[in-house]
Structure 1
Amino acid sequence: MLHTTVIRDATVSWRLAGNRIAMETLTDLASAHRPACRVHADGSIADAPEGAPGTVYFGRDDERPDLVQVRDWLPKHAALWDAVRAQYWDAVLPLDHPRFRGLGEVATMPYRR
């Protein structure tokens, strides 16, 4: 299942891959003037001319970086990464209330593919 987490003007898509978070994309509307790029699991960056402006595509196929790697690469989105982590724990170990409730401007939407 594809999960989408939104905070302010940034949206990230991710999946559960066993017990880890496999990152798919980050779209930052504040960076919509920048061309799309792909960040591979090893941290190398390539242009993604077919992608939407302001979007970062992570890895390919089964070689997706995890949340820890992406947090290191893009620390300015710390609040977004905290929201992803909270939504991850809500998915794998639900409580009677969502963990992301106290994180501020967070909207989360799971999508099935």
Structure 2
Amino acid sequence: MLLRHQTVTESIYRTETVTGAQATWRVVKNELSVMFIRIPDNPDPAYRLYAPALREAMPNEDAGTIFFDSEAYPALAKARKWLPEYAHLWDEVAAEFREVLAKPRTKAGGCVEGRMGEVWLSQ
């Protein structure tokens, strides 16, 4: 399932697999970067991942959540390299990203051009 949150400068998407794993990712200028993932069956405490060996605990967040550095969200290839155990999730994100690129970008009112406020749209 693909959900989209769109502003004037970026679109934010959420991909969910049949197992319930979720990835929230954004597209800016046709470039995909991963913001965070949630793995429902992962009991590990939440953390922010800056690099493969650099993690910051996030005790107030849900277990199984992995956040990426908001100053430099990784591209999908880097996220896949850092967390290869979630290959099924990365494959779903890649497939949905290809779908996003194939579709003309429309605004909430249905027009292709123009400004809009923030809105979540079901794809």
Matched, 1:22 2:69: no
In structure 1, how many angstroms separate the alpha carbons of the residues matched to 2:28 and 2:61? 24
Counterpart selection for 1:69 from 78, 86, 92:
78
Cα root mean square deviation, aligned: 2.0
Deviation, structure 1 residue 70: 0.7
Q: Give the count of matched residue pairs.
A: 95
Counterpart selection for 2:62 from 30, 52, 62:
52
Counterpart code for 1:70: A
* Structure number with bigger Rg: 2
The TM-score, its normalising length taken from structure 2, stands at 0.69
Counterpart code for 1:10: A
Deviation string, structure 1 residues 47-67 (Cα, Å, up to 9, x no partner): 11222111000111x411111
Corresponding residue for residue 100 of structure 1: none
Displacement over 4 Å in runs of 4+: none
In structure 1, how many angstroms separate the alpha carbons of the residues matched to 2:85 and 2:25? 18
Structure 1: runs of 5 or more not aligned: 96-109
Identity of aligned residues (%): 25
Matched, 1:35 2:45: yes
Structure 2: runs of 5 or more not aligned: 1-10, 105-118
In structure 2, how many angstroms separate the alpha carbons of the residues matched to 1:36 and 1:17? 26
Whose helix proportion is higher, 1 or 2? 1
Corresponding residue for residue 102 of structure 1: none
